[in-house]
Structure 1
Amino acid sequence: MKRYMGLDYGDKQIGVAVSDELGWTAQGLTVLRNSRDERVLNDIVNLVKEWNVGELIVGLPKNMNGTVGPRGQLAMEFAETLKAAVAIPVHLWDERLTTVSAERMLIEADVSRKKRKGVVDRIAAALILQNYIDSKTSKR
């Protein structure tokens, strides 16, 4: 079975998470610097190969009313670019409030502001991926 990979696309960083081999749970993997060029695409392609990923899930930041704003548009364009770079399905997934949830989890765990900055995108990617996995599991 191939793994899922979740991406939390941001202006400066891209949080990356992968599923376990059975596709049941998501774990934060790393944070990539968003260079907005071939380098970040190559990094993702290499991670896809290294982790035997079969599907990519890109977080789509929607407004609270469900509309897609400028940040969502950037995520959609990134997903289209990814589709051309990888030979696997790329899905967009509604990620409303995942970064807020990730921040809240870290604050509750008493993680310092400095340390939170380094892991919040990775945790947000894991939340996006876990929500996607849970939606697929509930349909089975």
Structure 2
Amino acid sequence: MKILAVDYGDSRTGLATCDRTEFLTTAITPQITLKARNKVAARVCEVAKEIEAEMILIGLPLNMDGTEGERAAKSRKLAKTVELWSDLPVRMWDERQTTCAAADLLDESGTYGSRRKEILDSVSATVILEDYLAWRKEHPGEM
């Protein structure tokens, strides 16, 4: 299944996708730098259509204790808008620690400075997607 993953943030929104076999994940650049939720939702829907996504996965930024705060509420609002506008299934996925994991990956590859800022959220979206795909392998047939 072709999936579009979204790491929604206040300043930047990262995107990533996978191939139909769910084996290869790829960050989509450039990141979305729009700030208004409706504009971000519109761009997410455009990208989903461009890549022929069959599902959209949106990171859910839970607090470390598993509760939901203001960021989670914003992500849920984005998800509702995207689901209405795209006519695709939208799933929320726990994104705790993904930015840290993405930063570690960029450290390992020697990516720093402005280049890091340009891709960090897209790499985070890739981490979200890879985590979800690993879960799907253990739960075949579930979405």
The TM-score, its normalising length taken from structure 2, stands at: 0.90
Paired residues of 2:42 and 2:82 also in contact (CA < 8 A) = no
Q: Could you list the runs of 4 or more consecutive aligned residues of structure 1 that deviate by over 6 angstroms after TM superposition? A: none
What is the aligned partner in structure 2 of residue 78 from structure 1?
Answer: 78
Question: Residue 60 of structure 2 aligns to which amino acid in structure 1?
Answer: L
Give matches, 1:11-30, under 5 Å.
11-30=10-29
Summarize the Cα distance change of 1:75–1:37 in structure 2 as closer, same or farther, 3 Å threshold: closer
**Where does structure 2 lack aligned partners over 5 or more consecutive residues?**
none
Answer with 89-98 or 102-111: which moved more.
102-111
3-state SS, counterpart of residue 53 of structure 1: coil
Distance 2:39 2:61 in 1: 23
Aligned residues: CA RMSD: 1.3
Answer with 5-14 or 130-139: which moved more.
130-139
Give matches, 1:1-140, under 5 Å.
2-30=1-29, 31-140=31-140
1:72 to partner: Cα distance: 1.1
Answer with 115-124 or 29-38: which moved more.
29-38
1:121 to partner: Cα distance: 0.3
1:110 to partner: Cα distance: 1.8
Paired positions, count: 139
Question: Residue 12 of structure 1 aligns to which amino acid in structure 2?
Answer: S
Distance 2:3 2:17 in 1: 6
Distance 1:24 1:133 in 2: 8
Distance 1:92 1:38 in 2: 18
Distance 1:63 1:32 in 2: 24
Paired residues of 1:5 and 1:56 also in contact (CA < 8 A) = yes
Distance 1:138 1:16 in 2: 24
Distance 1:49 1:108 in 2: 33
1:37 to partner: Cα distance: 4.7
Distance 1:96 1:84 in 2: 26
3-state SS, counterpart of residue 10 of structure 1: coil
1:43 to partner: Cα distance: 1.8
